[in-house]
Amino acid sequence: MESIQNPDQYEAIHSEGPTLVIAGPGTGKTYTIIQRVLYLIRDRKVKPEQIMIVTYTVKASKELMTRLTNELSRQGIEINLHEMYIGTFHHICRRLLKEFREYTRLERNFIETDQFEQQYMVYEHLADFEEIPNFELVVQSSYINNRTGEEVTVPPWKRCRTICQYVNRLSEELMKADDMIRSRDEKIRVLGWMMKRYEKLARKKNFLDFTKLQTEAYYILSEKENVRRRVLEKIRYILVDEYQDTNYIQERLVQILGGRERNIFVVGDDDQSIYRFRGATVANILQFQKHFGSSCRVITLHTNYRSGQGIVSFCMRWMAKPDWFSWERMGHLYRYRKGLLESGGGKESVPSVVRITAEEDDRLFEDRVCHFIEELKRKGCISDYNQVALLFDSVKGDTSMRLQYALGKRHIAVYAPRSGHFFERKEVAWFFGCLLYLFSGIRRKLGQDRVMDETEGIRGAYVLFLSMAEDMMKRNEDLKQWIRSMKRKVEREKKLPENLLPLAYKILSFPPFSAFLDKAAAGECNEARNLASITRLISRFDCFTEENHGYGKETLEDVYIFFSRYLRLWY
C-alpha cells in the first residue's frame, strides 16, 4: 500500500459520516479522493456501484478515472469502474433519469440542448417573451450610456442570454413559475411569466437543457419514494469535488443522496469559489458543518506540494490583509480559518511572484511580457513555454488578444481554448468557405441583410472564408470540381441537392479534410476535433427546422437561416 503523505490526508481518507475537507491549492486534493476510494474498496470492501463521485468538470472526471484505474492496477485490484457513479452533476443526473425513465415527466425522444442551443431557441421566439407585460422591467432593449448620454440598443442575442440566465438561475433555486406569478412584486411576476413561457416552449420542442437535467433528477428523488429508496439502497458513499462551486439544487441533491448514513465526503476551498456568476454559492461549503451539526468532521489539508515558499508566503500575506473573521462575532462564518505550509520538497529558491507594468504604452507592456517569458526559457527557469500561465479576467479581452498575437509573432504557442479563435482556424475557414461557395444566391442575400450588422465582423469573416477556400481548392482539384458541380446543380434546380449534414460529410471526404481525419485515427488532432464540432453544430441545426419543414427536410431558406442567424450567433 502506498504510504499516506501526511496526517491530515490520513484522517480525511479514513473518516466516516459527513466530512468536509478544506483543501487549499496544491494540497493533494485529488490524491486524497483517490486514496479514500481505494480505502473504501480495498479495506472496507465497499462495492464500486455503492460509491458516487461527483466532479465539477468532465476533464476532472476523466483525470480521476485515469489515476484511479492506474492505482488500482498498481495494487493488483481488479474491478469495473464503470459500475461506479462518477462524473459531473449533469452526467450523474442523466444516468439517474435513464435508469428510472418511467418515473420522470419527460416525453419520449427528448433532445438534450447545450447553452448555445438553449439561447438560439429563445432567440427564435424572442417576440413571444417581449409580449409579457412590463417585460422591460427585467430585460431591457436599450439603456442610456452614463458617459455620453446616448441611448444604446441591447442586441437581441444579449437579451436572449439574459432570459436564459434568469430561467436557469430560478430553476436551480427550485422556484415555481405559478408561485412567482402570484407575487405582489411586479418584477417577480414578470420573471414568473418568463419561466412559464420558456417551459412551454421547451416542452413543445421536447428540449432538455442542463438545468432541467438536474431539476428532473431532483423531482424523481424527492417526489418518487420508490426511486429514492432504490437509489439509497445502492449508494452508500458520496464524494463531491469542488464543493465551493455547487449551487442550491446540487446541495439538495447531495443531501438527499446522503440518506440516513450520511456518508457524504465533500472537498473544496472557500477561497477558490469563482463561479458565482453561474449560480454557485460559497454558502454551501460554509454552512456544511452547521447543516450536519456535531456529527460533521472538518479536516483541513495544510501542506502545499505544488508551489515554492515564495508563492505560498505571498498568498498567505495577501489573504491575511482583510479582516475576514469579524463576522464570526455576529454569528456568521465568512471564511474558514486556514493556513498553508510549503512542503519543503527541494524546490529552487527563485523569485516566484513578479510584477510587469507599462501603463504608458500597451505595446511596451506586450514587449516586456514576451521578453520576460523568453528570458525564463533562456535562463533555464522553465524548460517549456507551457510551464507559464497568463491569467486575465477574460481571454477574449483586448489586452489578452493583443498579447496572444504578440506571443504568436515570436513563435511562442498559446493555448487559449475559449479565446474565440475557433473561426480563425484554417480548417474551419476552409470548410465554411466551401459550404458557402455552393450557394451563390445566399451569398448575395447575406451581403444585403441588415440583421448581419448585429454581429461585428461576420460579413468580413464570410468573405475571408470564401477567399481561403478558393485558394485551398487550387491545390485540391477533386474537391474543386465537386464543389463546382454541386454549385451548378443548386443554381439549376433552385433547391438543396441533399441536406446540409450529408453535404458536410461529402466535403470532409476530400483532402485536405480527409487527411485531418486520418491523422485523428492515429492519435490526437486539433483540426479533426474542430471539424467534429462543425458536424455536431450542423446536425443540431435540424432541431430548429422541424416545426417549419418537417424533421430533416431542409430548404434553401434553411441554409440562409443557418448562415444569417444560427452560425452568425455562434460567431
Read off the pLDDT of residues 111-148 as tens digits, 9 standing for 90 and up: 898 888 899 999 989 999 999 999 999 999 888 888 88
Mean pLDDT of 73-77: 90
Mean pLDDT of 248-257: 95
Residue 261: C-alpha distances to residues 199, 237, 255, 284, 483 (Å): 36, 9, 11, 20, 64
Q: Which of 69-73, 141-145, 445-449, 553-557 has the lowest mean pLDDT?
A: 445-449
Higher pLDDT, 553 or 507: 507
The fold of 7-95+216-301 is Rossmann fold (3.40.50)
Mean pLDDT of 85-96: 95
Model confidence over 331-372: pLDDT tens digits?
Answer: 566 666 776 666 655 555 556 666 776 565 666 888 889 999
Query: How many angstroms separate the CA atoms of 77 and 85, rounded?
Result: 18
- Is residue 328 predicted with pLDDT exceeding 70? no
Mean pLDDT of 431-452: 81
264 SS3 class: strand
Is the CB of residue 338 less than 8 Å from the CB of residue 24?
yes
Mean pLDDT of 401-410: 82
Q: What is the pTM of this model?
A: 0.76
Residue 73: C-alpha distances to residues 80, 83, 560 (Å): 11, 16, 54
Higher pLDDT, 418 or 8: 8
- Is residue 548 predicted with pLDDT exceeding 70? no
Considering the chain, tell me which residue range(s) the CATH 3.40.50.300 domain(s) occupy.
Answer: 7-95+216-301
Is the CB of residue 238 less than 8 Å from the CB of residue 86?
no
Query: What pLDDT, on a 0 to 100 scale, did the predictor assign at position 488?
Result: 93
Query: What pLDDT, on a 0 to 100 scale, did the predictor assign at position 155?
Result: 85
Print burial letters for 37-61: b (CB count within 10 Å at least 16), e (below 16): bbbbbeeeebebebbbbbbbeeebb
Model confidence over 13-37: pLDDT tens digits?
Answer: 999 999 999 998 889 999 999 999 9
Query: What pLDDT, on a 0 to 100 scale, did the predictor assign at position 353?
Result: 63
47 SS3 class: coil
